[in-house]
Structure 1
Amino acid sequence: MSLQGSLQEVDLPHIVDLARSMGDAVAVMLDTPRGQWTLYVERGRVVHAEGPQGERGEEAVATALVARDGSFHLEPGRLPPTRTIQRPWNAVLLDALRRLDETGAPSQPEPREEEPMAKPKKTRERIAEALQDLLAESSDIIGAAVVGIDGLIYSANFPRRDTDDNLVAAVAAAVYGLSQRSMKQTQQGTFVQTLIQGTDGYMLVRSVTPQVIFVGLLPAEVNLGMAFAEARTITARLEEILKGLR
């Protein structure tokens, strides 16, 4: 059974996430005034993409991200004609979003009242409320998001309106992937959290469940001990929400 919808309602990362949950082989087709893009998902991985101007592979993914008008539909059971994408989806998405960010092209649609996603609306609202409560009570965490390890955004609340939620989610997913591999290679167990320091503040990435991570933005003059404690508290609350315990 095929699934279809409007590109004004669902962006590409969410569409791909839907396709990855539909079966072993799914084709994602974007029909727009600029032409048609087709992405092929096989066993949960995006393995090939084609664009209307002859783009292939990761280049086609990058151009597909700016598609805003038109429709999409998913066709289960359609096998890829070839395989031009070898890297994980979150790495491909991260590079594509970075490229768009450098060129100034928009990488996400205008805000809308409701954003379709894999989790039920009730759960999504609870996650948003948990983040709102955290930011209202904390002076050590000034921005927060909950994202999947594949870059899917569950909820985001950042102080700056020009923050690209999709880009932050992709970066966090890439950080998680690298950190998880580092822990395994050094035999230090499973990933718990990582802290990245910049000149103007920090980004904290902490595991919520094996498939979901919490992202916190911290100011430069932060009490890291308090921030870590608050991160432990919020991730415990988020885990209960995701498991349907509250």
Structure 2
Amino acid sequence: MSTGDTFLPRRTSQRPDLPPPVTLPPSLAGNPSLPYPAIGTELHELRLQIPGVQGSVLGGVDGLLITHDVPSALDPDDLAAMAAATFGLGRQVSLRLGQGEFRQSTVRNQSGYFAVYAVGPQALLSVVGADAINVARLHLHAPPVAERLAKLLAST
């Protein structure tokens, strides 16, 4: 596949079997390159604190992008959609095993990692990392970031 290929189809309408999308306040909606400052700071700091983090995305559990801190080589809409798919599978596993609510899932690929963390009941933090990333350090730093993001989303 070439770099410009689209990996996932774009949604054109809300499915009736899914909860309605969360309406964002004006401070969070709009241009994703100008995110709500505190949320943007959290995403940017995660990249600075952990060598190997290539970028992060904050999206809804419905797969829709809220905001991001990723380079132009990564499609934040696709990452938000993949995070929601990862969440859906993780949630089904946790329900089937009776292990409580979804918290986190990590996918290791040949050249890197994709980790998804729950941000409250309605959002997900996804992180793309290089193969050399210290995954233990990521798992140490990302959950508190997810908790702070949940508080920021709840307070708006």
Please state if 1:183 is matched with 2:88.
Answer: no
| RMSD value, Cα | 2.4
More strand by share: 1
Aligned mates of 1:44, 1:177 — CA distance in 2: 12
Name the SS for the 2:155 alignment partner. Answer: coil
Name the SS for the 1:217 alignment partner. Answer: strand
1:147 to 52, 59, 75: 59
* Preserved contact between residue 196 and residue 203 of structure 1 (Cα < 8 Å): yes
Name the amino acid aligned to 1:232. Answer: P
- Aligned pair in 2 of structure 1 residues 183, 162: CA closer, same or farther (>3 Å)? same
Please state if 1:167 is matched with 2:78.
Answer: yes
Percent identical across equivalent pairs? Answer: 24
Aligned mates of 1:190, 1:45 — CA distance in 2: 18
Deviation at 1:129, TM superposition (A): 2.6
1:236 to 139, 147, 153: 147
Please state if 1:120 is matched with 2:25.
Answer: yes
Q: Paired residues, what number? A: 139
Gaps of 5+ in 2: 1-9, 29-34
Deviation at 1:205, TM superposition (A): 0.5
- Larger Rg computed on CA atoms: 1
Identify which of structures 1 and 2 has the higher relative contact order when contacts are C-alpha pairs closer than 8 Å and 6+ apart. 2
Aligned mates of 1:152, 1:136 — CA distance in 2: 25
Aligned mates of 1:217, 1:226 — CA distance in 2: 14
Which residue of structure 1 aligns with residue 123 of structure 2? 212
For residues 54-99 of structure 1, what are the alpha-carbon distances to aligned partners after superposition, in whole Å with 9 as ceiling and x for unaligned?
A: xxxxxxxxxxxxxxxxxxxxxxxxxxxxxxxxxxxxxxxxxxxxxx
Please state if 1:134 is matched with 2:39.
Answer: no
* Preserved contact between residue 127 and residue 154 of structure 1 (Cα < 8 Å): no
TM-score between both structures, scaled by the size of structure 2: 0.78
1:199 to 98, 107, 110: 110
